[in-house]
């Protein structure tokens, strides 16, 4: 209604995340509604309509036309998102052009800012080279966190009689794919326990451990900063998640450095100081990622398998890849500092054993149930001359 009649104000679409399989079927009855969901829908609808009605952007066609002539330009698609359904953050694309470019500028300037006055230009380039290597290692971990669950899903279908076991039991998707995704994310940290530094430790008079932590952090920061800029240059309205991650990581690094300065390099304490500023970002990542996976599981289950011989692999591969993406963006910001704790052989063995157990258990579950029925589409085609 609003998007059609009043131009650039966002439209409103309401869905139920849980139990959406019943939409437009004979099973779409009142008794299947989640208790309290109708009241929640009414509350959300009232708040949304009130916000739209009170918005300064609400104008009729004549006002929009005169405003467009007077301004002569358009800010483009705005960036907006809500935090845990508590409040909404909104800013124009013009502001995003400046705001989302700041992390990349910080990443490019930081090697020269931290080394030029003390060690010269050559050391600045060596520092930047270490940052780039850290970014490559972090990118490799993100890619492996997505690839490993995909390979695991294919392996499971080769030994299982049917796929999509996660449709009736969504927790199976998390149990199967999160541990193996974490293994992929930790592989670069396990292989390169000693970071390949280009900087001269004796010249800088800084411990190798400190330089390695610095390179790993700024490499991860550069990855999220580059992703934020890529969203912006592609003309997409997203990028808020990676920008939020970059900003939170910067605060976490400042907290980490201050803890080392005043309390010394105590591994446990400095790690806690690093994690605390990341809690709001990680909470939002888990919140948003969990809803995304649940929504995708429901949609893939409604779609069902594609024609053989390879069609039955598609739903499991898609769900595995999305779970890998969500796992990597939830755990990725922790890897530069917490990776040294997590990349232990005992933890990796535990994750692998957990993946094998999940593989065995998932084969015992049937994909469909009374609460998650199989949808069959019948098509009647008329051929006319």
For 14-69, the pLDDT digits (tens) are 666 666 666 666 777 777 777 777 787 788 778 777 877 777 767 666 776 676 54
Percent of the chain with pLDDT over 90: 31
Query: Quick check: 9 and 3 in contact, CB under 8 A?
Result: yes
Task: Considering only residues 96 and 335, tell me which one the structure prediction assigns the higher pLDDT.
Answer: 335
Enumerate long-range contacts of 348-356, CB under 8 Å, 24 or more apart: 348/183, 348/186, 348/190, 351/179, 351/180, 351/182, 351/183, 352/179, 352/180, 352/183, 354/175, 354/179, 355/152, 355/176, 355/179, 355/180, 355/183
40 C-beta neighbours (distance < 10 Å), count? 11
pLDDT at position 358, please? Answer: 86
CA dihedral in degrees (106, 112, 115, 119; nearest 10)? Answer: 180
Per-residue pLDDT tens for 349-375?
Answer: 999 999 989 888 877 776 666 666 666
Q: pLDDT at position 69, please?
A: 46
Q: What's the chain's length in residues?
A: 385
Closest CA to 290 of 155, 208, 173, 193: 173
| Range ranked top by mean pLDDT from 139-153, 186-200, 304-318, 348-362 | 139-153
Cross-strand bridge partners of residue 90: 80
- Is 292's pLDDT higher than 70? yes
- Percentage of the chain lying above the pLDDT 70 cut: 80
CB 297 within 8 A of CB 171: no
Section 307-325 average pLDDT:
86
Both tokens of 137, joined, read 């290692």
Query: Of the candidates 217, 194, 171, 126, which has an alpha carbon nearest to the alpha carbon of residue 323?
Result: 171
Confidence check: pLDDT of 323 > 90? yes
Among 3-7, 69-73, 352-356, name the most confident range.
352-356
């Amino acid at each position: 209604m609003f998007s059609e009649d009043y131009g650039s104000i966002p439209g409103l679409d309401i869905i139920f995340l849980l139990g959406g399989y019943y939409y437009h079927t004979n099973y779409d009855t009142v008794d299947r509604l989640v208790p309290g969901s109708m009241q929640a829908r009414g509350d959300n609808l009232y708040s949304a309509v009130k916000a739209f009605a009170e918005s300064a952007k609400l104008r009729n066609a004549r006002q929009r036309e005169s405003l467009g002539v007077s301004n002569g330009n358009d800010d483009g698609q705005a960036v907006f998102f809500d935090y845990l359904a508590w409040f909404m953050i909104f800013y124009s694309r013009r502001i995003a052009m400046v705001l989302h470019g700041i992390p990349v500028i910080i990443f490019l300037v930081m090697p020269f800012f931290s080394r030029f006055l003390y060690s010269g230009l050559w050391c600045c380039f060596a520092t930047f080279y270490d940052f780039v290597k850290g970014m490559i290692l972090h990118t490799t971990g993100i890619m492996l966190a997505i690839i490993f669950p995909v390979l695991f899903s294919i392996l499971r279908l080769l030994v299982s009689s049917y796929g999509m076991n996660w449709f009736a039991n969504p927790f199976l998707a998390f149990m199967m794919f999160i541990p193996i995704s974490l293994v992929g994310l930790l592989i670069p940290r396990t292989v390169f326990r000693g970071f390949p530094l280009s900087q001269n430790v004796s010249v800088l008079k800084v411990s190798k451990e400190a330089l390695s932590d610095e390179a790993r952090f700024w490499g991860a920061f550069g990855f999220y900063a580059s992703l934020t800029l890529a969203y912006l240059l592609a003309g997409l309205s997203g990028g808020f998640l990676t920008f939020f991650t970059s900003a939170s990581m910067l605060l976490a690094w400042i907290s980490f450095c201050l803890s080392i300065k005043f309390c010394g390099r105590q591994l446990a304490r400095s790690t806690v100081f690093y994690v605390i500023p990341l809690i709001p970002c990680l909470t939002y990542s888990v919140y948003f990622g969990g809803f995304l996976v649940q929504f995708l599981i429901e949609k893939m289950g409604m779609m069902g398998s594609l024609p053989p011989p390879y069609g039955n692999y598609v739903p499991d591969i898609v769900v595995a890849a999305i779970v890998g993406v969500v796992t990597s963006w939830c755990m990725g910001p922790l890897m530069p500092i917490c990776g040294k704790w997590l990349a232990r052989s005992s933890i990796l063995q535990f994750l692998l054993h957990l993946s094998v157990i999940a593989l065995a258990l998932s084969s015992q579950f049937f994909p469909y149930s009374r609460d998650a029925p199989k949808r069959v589409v019948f098509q009647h085609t008329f051929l006319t001359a």
